[in-house]
Amino acid sequence: MKALKILQSPMMALTCFAASAVAVADVADIYVDQASTLGAYFDDEETFDYVGDFASGRDSILDVYFESFYAADSIVGFDLSPLYNQLSCGETITINSVSLSIAETADSYSNIEFWVDGLLDDGWDEETITWNDVYEDANFLHLGVAEFLYRSDDYLPAISLEITNEVQSDYLDDGYLTLVLRASDFTFTSPGELYGADTDKEPFITVDYDVIAGSNPRLCEMEKRAEERAQRREIIERRRERMQR
């Protein structure tokens, strides 16, 4: 599965951010890690709301519709850890922009808008996630909007997500981004379909970011030595445990 693709080599930023920092800019495509459809039906006997406890698992086709008796959202996850794992001591990442590229199928009969919302809870599993799981404690943040193009069978125009410092801190810096795709209005008998995981047109996000390098080599050296000491202590502890057996 495609995961991370760096689109351009690191280059020195032309703007000096501070006398003590240097920015290195990059753009990366990160392909979908998890993808699932969240199906629901309208419960007109007890809750009088949409409910759904069925897990559809990993999906290559994602449904998005909102009807009188049935509804479906889609959930997609992107693993950002390769971006953060490349950081050296003292470095941080500033996310400049994020856009979502997702393709509509040839069987998509919708031409309405759909919402792209961020979900704080990244601890879900595509094999078990359900509508009820997401909406039981839904904490959505509206990040973008797109429009179905009716059976286009191609990528929709890239969807720009609204990224602020707070969004980066809350939704990106933990190394994973979860997005929920929801119909903005009744689709009636014209459901929307999008390509999901394991297809030729997998969803991906394009991340434009800067790596900000600090200028305190002494602090980094201290951290490095602390890690080395911790590793040595771990080795010594393992030896002691073996001797006591």
For the stretch 74-115, pLDDT in tens is 999 999 999 998 887 778 899 999 999 999 999 998 888 999
Contact 209, 98 (CB under 8 A): no
Who has greater pLDDT, 2 or 82? 82
The C-alpha torsion from 164 through 168 and 171 to 175, rounded to 10°, is: 160
pLDDT band at 11 (very low <50, low <70, confident <90, very high): very low
Question: What integer best gives the mean pLDDT of the chain?
Answer: 87
Is the model's pLDDT at 14 over the cut of 50? no
Q: In angstroms, rounded to a whole number, what is the distance separating the alpha carbons of residues 148 and 110?
A: 6
Instruction: Kindly report the pTM of this predicted structure.
Output: 0.82
| SS3 category, 214 | coil
Confidence of residue 3 (pLDDT cuts 50, 70, 90): low
The predicted structure's pLDDT at residue 45: 92
Q: Is residue 218's pLDDT more than 70? A: no
Sequence letter at residue 11 = M
- Pull the structure tokens for residue 177: 């981004």
User: Which of 10-24, 161-175, 179-193 is predicted most confidently?
Assistant: 161-175
80 contacts 34 by C-beta, under 8 angstroms = no
Domain ranges for the chain: 4-214, 216-245
- Amino acid letter for position 100: L
Confidence (pLDDT) at 88: 79
Q: What is the percent of the chain with per-residue pLDDT over 90, rounded to a whole number? A: 64
Residues in the chain: 245
Strands 34-43 and 204-213: unpaired
Tokens of 146: 């797109």
